[in-house]
Chains A and B, each alone.
Chain A
């Protein structure tokens, strides 16, 4: 399992575009928003948590189809399916690798982008906390979507269509934590719910995704 994790990370790093592409996309979304809504600092600081969350979510979406697609095309997935590790474990490890190469850099870079959007002072900690807590769910839900569409020739668009509605609860609780944090409000409820969604996704979705992959391989 560790081997698979290390291999996926090495592949992402060497193939390029793993860390870089998602982050660059996140930056561009963050830069485009002020062009769209105007440069007033008040408005930007009010919408900053939401924009950063939506930006992180979209950057995460960008690399989802690579979780299984390449391994499916070159036959690795067939070989992994006959290897002595459970498919559920493969899915979980691949989602973790996706998070480490996409989600984690987004979490770490978010404060920098927060500066661009005038995020209020107390908001930084909670922005990072909410992203750190929520992005694993994004990767896991995304891995489920990728597992459903792995057998399809042009699955990318369908993948987005399937995954984005599933992201709604995570996005709502995540931005709520970040927003309340920025405004200095009580955020116990949303942070507990966000953690709940993430834990539930991590606990249950590997089984659904593994079932989908087995169906797609036959």
Chain B
């Protein structure tokens, strides 16, 4: 049996049903632990004070904003190549979540930036890139909403996602070129010297795990909803055929 068997809508509904509550509970636990630990049991930063603690929301949401788009790209490619309906629906389901993550990253960034840089918004490359990413999400979702035939919508949004990904990367570099920014370097990287201190690091990892679990759980729930909607659509269409 090939792995693609699991992509059959009925099978998918079957194996994801028990997964959703498990993932939801895990996400709730990881988020609670990460956030409570991060907020109440870590010292203030010597430079940034208590405002540094927004990192526990800002960094994971920013990561998920990008990862959600990457997941949509992979799902779109699978739809184009193998034409698994669930894949297209998963991409559709992930878009609003990614968009909300982008908004959270932008808002928490503004709240963090205000005391740090003295301004709510700066045309810093990272901030600008996220704003552009937000526009891409809006366009992608508008495209899904505008087209009635679900297969046509899946095809066109997949093409848009592919081209959009290329242009999102181009925009990222263009924006870097356009303005060298205020934003601090990446909070997480393989290079240890760049990393935030260990005290902040462990709860941050837990919070990130929480966001990932939350994202997966939400995508599953939304994909299941989309599958049910499609099923309803199919039943109604069949009734009409007689």
Interface of chain A residues 179 through 218 with chain B (CB within 8 A): 189-190, 193, 197, 204-205, 208, 211-212, 215-216, 218
- Of the four ranges (under 10, 10 to 19, 20 to 34, 35 or more), the interface on chain A belongs to 20 to 34
Q: Write out the residue numbers on chain A whose beta carbons fall within 8 Å of the beta carbon of B70.
A: none
Q: Does any Cβ of B come within 8 Å of A176's Cβ? A: yes
Q: Does any Cβ of A come within 8 Å of B164's Cβ? A: yes
Interface of chain A residues 139 through 180 with chain B (CB within 8 A): 144, 148-149, 151-152, 155, 158, 161-162, 164-166, 168-169, 172-173, 176
B contact residues, total (Cβ < 8 Å): 26
Question: Taking A151-B152, A158-B146, A212-B156 as contacts, is the C-beta distance between A169 and B174 under 8 angstroms?
Answer: yes
Interface of chain B residues 36 through 57 with chain A (CB within 8 A): none
User: In the bound complex, do residue A168 and residue B171 qualify as a contact, i.e. CB atoms below 8 Å apart?
Assistant: yes
In the complex, what's the smallest C-beta–C-beta distance from A217 to chain B, in angstroms?
10
User: In the bound complex, do residue A216 and residue B143 qualify as a contact, i.e. CB atoms below 8 Å apart?
Assistant: no
Q: Which residues of B contact A (CB under 8 A)?
A: 132, 135-136, 138-139, 142-143, 146-147, 152, 155-156, 159-160, 162-164, 166-167, 170-171, 173-175, 177-178
Question: Which 8 A/B pairs are nearest by Cβ-Cβ distance?
Answer: A169-B174, A172-B174, A165-B135, A169-B170, A215-B155, A168-B171, A162-B139, A172-B178
Q: Write out the residue numbers on chain A whose beta carbons fall within 8 Å of the beta carbon of B173.
A: 169
Please report the C-alpha to C-alpha distance between residue A204 and residue B163 in the assembled complex, in whole angstroms: 9
A173's contact among B138, B159, B174, by CB below 8 Å, is which? B174
- What are 24 A-B pairs with beta-carbon distances under 8 A? A148-B143, A148-B156, A149-B146, A151-B147, A161-B135, A161-B138, A161-B139, A162-B142, A165-B135, A165-B164, A166-B164, A168-B171, A168-B174, A169-B174, A172-B174, A172-B178, A173-B177, A176-B177, A197-B170, A211-B155, A212-B156, A215-B159, A216-B152, A218-B152
